[in-house]
Amino acid sequence: MPSNLRHSSHVFSRRASLLAMSGIASALTGTLAGAATDSTTTINWDRIAQEFLMDRSLLYLNTGTLGATPKSVVEARCALGQRLESNPAGEGFGSILLEAEAVIPKIADLIGCSAKEATVTRNTTEGMNFIAEGINLQAGQRVLVSNHEHPGGLRAFQFLKKTRGVEIDVAEIHSPPQSEDEVVDSFRKAIQPKTRVIMCSYVHFSNGLRTPIARLSELAHQHGCLMVVDGAQASGGVAVNVKELGCDAYASSGHKFLLGPKGTGILYINEQARDQITPMQLDDGLGFYTAIRGTGSMPEVIGLGAVLDWTRQIGRSAVFDRLMSLRNMLYAVLEKTPHIVPKSPPPGSSMASQLVCFSVDDRGRHEKLKAQFTQNKVLVRGVNIDGVDFRLSVHLYNTEADIARFEEILLKGVT
Ligand SMILES: Cc1ncc(COP(=O)(O)O)c(C=O)c1O
């Protein structure tokens, strides 16, 4: 704890218990009570889908860009903002700051690391920037990435190319690859003697591929490289345990599949790699407030902690299973629709994620489908990488009725 905060810990414990009784915690418990129709096995997903502020005239299939936060968390965050404004320095350097710091162990629990290895950021991009800047790459050293990386993960390394003469190599991955071996071999072939970093998304934003990161980490370490993972599309959508992934650093967003407030992110740096990844802003450790980081957005970060609690109450693996089940329904719709080609791994594949992507077999139909989506308020992500045209991403506000509505609109759009 920063020394300027120590005096206020008694305030924190009093306010924390008040919060537990009447603030975020009870709002969440209250809202979810009754969500499960049977306390152990059956979850009433339709009931949970109602817990959001989502505009129901939309068919929202774009959580991969931004997810919606549960209404109870939005309300609790607003109340917290008001409390902060009632005594900015007293609360902001007192109990509320301590509540924000307390979110870090929740992040550590989420991704399976120690609290000393995790922190909050504003987004994936900021986390990836911290990592890239912290590696101290020199001219001529090389970074190996896939051909499906998002600018949020890539731009920091491109900056190092421009300013320091770092080289970037690309491993080509098809949409979808036939096997994990194909992906690993593509990286293996592209490694060079001066490669120092392998950077890859855990879930590719473009084709929904769940990359075999554990195997890539092994490959990286065999070649004396650091393994850096862009987890923007992974956390909240698929199970993530950074120790099982074996990576040295991992960054993700709070505002996508974790359903957190916008402008939140999470970052992991393996303790063993801390001497090789030394971002300036983390020089005083990974705390929320440190001398070299300064003041952050407390209501947003505390809201992120609250949504992690909200999801835990449902059960993280139940959520992953639900998303995968909705995604598999979408895959089945794509597979049976004429002129549509799924570009993501099929159901049951170890490389399938909650994202499902597809292409349309001719440009005229592609344009017609785009117009159909606009007209019917279907929110999807256009891709345009490696022959992929569209990405669909579901979350708990989506239901079987949404899949049926999508099927109808898709068919109209391509026939
Ligand atoms: C793979 C990937 N990386 C990074 C980002 C950027 O995320 P953020 O806006 O949270 O920085 C995205 C956003 O879609 C993404 O899909």
Q: How far is the CA of 360 from the centre of ligand 1 (A)?
A: 25
Q: Please give the pLDDT value at position 275.
A: 97
CA–centroid distance, 238 to ligand 1, in Å, is 16
Q: What SS3 state is found at 246?
A: coil
To test the ligand 1 pocket, which listed residue (123, 124, 300) has its Cβ within 8 A of the most ligand atoms? 124
Euclidean distance between CA atoms 64 and 271, whole angstroms:
29
User: Ligand 1: distance of its center to the CA of 101 in Å?
Assistant: 24
- What residues contact 345, with CB distance under 8 A and at least 6 apart? 176, 177, 208, 209, 210, 351, 352, 353
Pairing of strands 118-121, 265-269: antiparallel
Nearest CA to ligand 1 atom 6: 152
Q: Is the pLDDT of residue 8 over 60?
A: no
- Please name every residue paired with 119 in a beta bridge, in sequence order, or none if there are none: 267
Closest ligand 1 atom to 252 CA: 10
Q: Where is average pLDDT lowest: 19-33, 35-49, 243-257, 319-333?
A: 19-33
Give residue ranges with CB within 6 A of ligand 1.
65, 123-125, 150, 152-153, 201, 205, 230, 232-233, 253, 265
Ligand 1 atom closest to Cα of residue 149 = 1
Cα 252 to ligand 1 centre (Å): 8
How much distance in Å is there from the Cα of 358 to the middle of ligand 1? 20
| Model confidence at 328: pLDDT above 50 | yes
Ligand 1 atom with the smallest distance to the CA of 64 is: 14
Six-digit token pair at 146?
């896939």
Q: How confident is the model at residue 41 (pLDDT cuts 50, 70, 90)?
A: low
The CA 355 to ligand 1 mean position distance, Å, reads 14
| Closest by Cα among 275, 279, 280, 224 to 251 | 279
Query: Residue 5 pLDDT > 80, yes or no?
Result: no
In this prediction, residue 295 carries a pLDDT of 97
What CA–CA distance (Å, rounded) separates 34 from 44?
Answer: 9
Residue nearest to atom 7 of ligand 1 (CA): 124
Domain-wise residue ranges, the chain:
103-310
Give the pairing of strands 195-201 and 355-360: unpaired
The number of the ligand 1 atom at minimal distance from the alpha carbon of 124 is 11
Calpha distance 176→203 (Å, rounded): 12
The stretch 82-97 carries a mean pLDDT of 98
pLDDT at 31: 44
* pLDDT higher than threshold 60 for residue 17: no
> Other C-beta atoms within 10 Å of 96: how many?
26
Least confident of 21-30, 100-109, 113-122, 135-144: 21-30
Q: Is the pLDDT of residue 138 over 60?
A: yes
CB atoms within 10 A of CB 197: 26
**What is the pLDDT averaged over residues 60-64?**
98
Does 6 score more than 80 pLDDT? no
Question: Residue 317 Cα, ligand 1 centroid: separation in angstroms?
Answer: 23
Q: What is the CATH number of domain 103-310?
A: 3.40.640.10
**Amino acid 311: pLDDT:** 98
Q: Residue 25 pLDDT > 60, yes or no?
A: no
Residue 196, pLDDT > 60, answer: yes
What's the angle, vertex CA 217, arms to CA 257 and CA 164, rounded to 5? 90
Average pLDDT over the chain reads 92
Q: Is the pLDDT of residue 37 over 50?
A: no
Q: Residue 139 Cα, ligand 1 centroid: separation in angstroms?
A: 27
Q: Examine the pLDDT at 245 and tell me if it is beyond 80.
A: yes
Closest atom of ligand 1 relative to the 256 alpha carbon: 10
Residue having the nearest C-alpha atom to atom 9 of ligand 1? 123
Q: Which atom of ligand 1 is nearest to the CA of 255?
A: 10
Q: Alpha carbon 22 to chain centroid distance?
A: 29
User: Residue 176: is the preceding peptide bond cis (ω within 30°)?
Assistant: yes
Name the strands in the sheet holding 167-171, side by side, starting at the edge strand that comes first in the sequence: 118-121, 265-269, 249-253, 226-230, 195-201, 142-146, 167-171
Reply yes or no on whether the pLDDT at 33 is more than 60: no
Q: With bands split at pLDDT 50, 70 and 90, how would you rate the model's confidence at 35?
A: very low
Give the pLDDT band (50/70/90) at residue 369.
Answer: very high
Average pLDDT over residues 201-218: 98
Confidence of residue 290 (pLDDT cuts 50, 70, 90): very high
pLDDT at residue 361 in the model = 95
